Amino acid sequence: WEQCKVFAGLGDHAEVPVDPNTHTDEYKKVVAMVLDSFGEGAAKKRTIHDIYRLENPAMYTFYAMTRDTIAQGPTANPSKTYGENANEKMLFAGERVQLNMLSIKKFGFDTRTAAEGAYGKGLYFGSKATFVDNGRCFQNPKNGTKELFLCRVTLGLPTTGKQGIRRPPYLDEKKGASSALYDSCHDGLSSPDLYVIFNSKQVYPEYRVVYE
Q: What is the pLDDT of residues 136-156, one digit of tens each?
A: 999 999 999 999 999 999 999
pTM for the full model? 0.92
Distances (CA, A) of 30 to 24, 90, 161, 194, 207: 10, 10, 29, 20, 8
Per DSSP, the residues of 24-67 read HHHHHHHHHHHHHHH-HHHHTT--EEEEEEEE-HHHHHHHHHHH
H or E element at residue 138: strand 138-139
Question: In this structure, are strands 146-154 and 203-211 parallel, antiparallel, or unpaired?
Answer: antiparallel
Residue 30 has pLDDT above 80, yes or no: yes
Contact 132, 92 (CB under 8 A): yes
Point out the least confidently predicted range of 85-94, 102-111, 168-177, 178-187: 168-177
- DSSP bridge partners of 205: 151
Per DSSP, the three-state class of 149 is strand
Mean pLDDT for 192-204 is 98
Nearest to 184 by CA among 163, 201, 199, 206: 199
Predicted confidence at residue 52, as pLDDT, reads: 98
Q: What is the DSSP letter of 170?
A: B
Distance CA 88, CA 78 (A): 17
Question: Contact at 8 Å (CB) between 142 and 22?
Answer: no
